[in-house]
Amino acid sequence: MAGDGVWVVTGASRGIGAAIARLAVDAGQRVAMIARGESVMELAQSLGESAAGFQCDVADSASVSETVDAIVARFGRVNVLVNNAGVHRGGKIHRLTDAAWQEVLQVNLTGAMNMTRAVVPHMSEGCSVINVGAVVGFRGFPGDSAYASSKAGLSGLTQALAIELAPKAITANLVIPGLVLTEMTSELSEAALDKMTQQIPLRRFAEDREIAEVVCWVAQSRYMTGAVVPVDGGLLSSFGVT
């Protein structure tokens, strides 16, 4: 990817978000890394002068506005926005609390809207918005009604943004990670991991860098907008493969 771009990555303190930030910095980009916790500051510092950490709650529009102003003051513009921040609160509908439902929607869906609305005025022709979805937004899993609804909504938001931003030559696309090796999955038993792996046609979890590589590729594509790009080992294509 061309150097000297300015990327804004939410949920950047770990996992996929951190991998995207690292890959972008390695490619010569400058990256504003956003997360709610303080750890994002330390991680950004470890990536060198091309990265800067910002504490921000994407669900809070005032916090988002203040943070984007600070990013533009430091870097001057934004070329790529990656809406990756997300929370997961499981539970079948008779157990899912109102608070859990609202939190998931506010962070995963409203957060992406808040960020996009704040960043787009600082974008120009050739810029890109990338939303990070989930397989569960397209396929049902029990106990995932809140997360699935938020990610399905993110797909709809992406479609609308693609049309709205096209006159400005700004693209909007949705990348869908499959099951990724994370701190959370590393705590599962070998039997549980094996059962989950059997659902994936490629028979393995993804590494966060593999998702980041596709996000970086999507950011460079100038004639792709409104697209859904699965990076899921075939999970969306085939369930229950044996």
27: confidence class by pLDDT, cuts 50, 70, 90:
very high
Token pair for residue 216? 């970086």
Catalytic residue, chosen from 8, 147, 165, 200, is 147
242: confidence class by pLDDT, cuts 50, 70, 90:
very low
Average confidence score pLDDT of the chain: 92
pLDDT tens digits along 130-175: 999 999 898 887 888 999 999 999 999 999 999 999 999 999 999 9
Question: Would you say 10 and 84 are in contact if contact means Cβ atoms under 8 Å apart?
Answer: yes
Q: What is the mean pLDDT of residues 220-240?
A: 89
pLDDT tens digits along 198-226: 889 999 989 999 999 999 999 999 999 99
Parse the chain into domains and list their residue ranges: 6-230
Residue-level pLDDT at 158: 98
DSSP state at residue 27: T
Residue-level pLDDT at 90: 81
Give the separation between CA 204 and CA 224, rounded to whole angstroms: 28
Sign of CA dihedral 160, 100, 215, 72: positive
Q: What pTM value is reported for the model? A: 0.93
Q: Is the pLDDT of residue 11 over 80?
A: yes
**What CATH topology corresponds to 6-230?**
Rossmann fold (3.40.50)
Angle among Cα 102, 181, 150 to the nearest 5 degrees reads 20
pLDDT higher at 216 or 90: 216
Examine the residue annotation and report whether 223 is marked as an active-site residue of this protein: no
241: confidence class by pLDDT, cuts 50, 70, 90:
very low
Token pair for residue 118? 């704040």
Q: Is the pLDDT of residue 2 over 70?
A: no
Residue-level pLDDT at 183: 65
184: confidence class by pLDDT, cuts 50, 70, 90:
low
Residue-level pLDDT at 177: 95
Residue 225 has phi, psi (to 5 degrees) of -150, 145
pLDDT tens digits along 17-26: 999 999 999 9
| Percent of the chain at pLDDT exceeding 90 | 77
Give the separation between CA 133 and CA 152, rounded to whole angstroms: 8
Residue-level pLDDT at 193: 75
According to DSSP, the residues that pair with 52 across neighbouring strands are: 32
Residue-level pLDDT at 226: 98
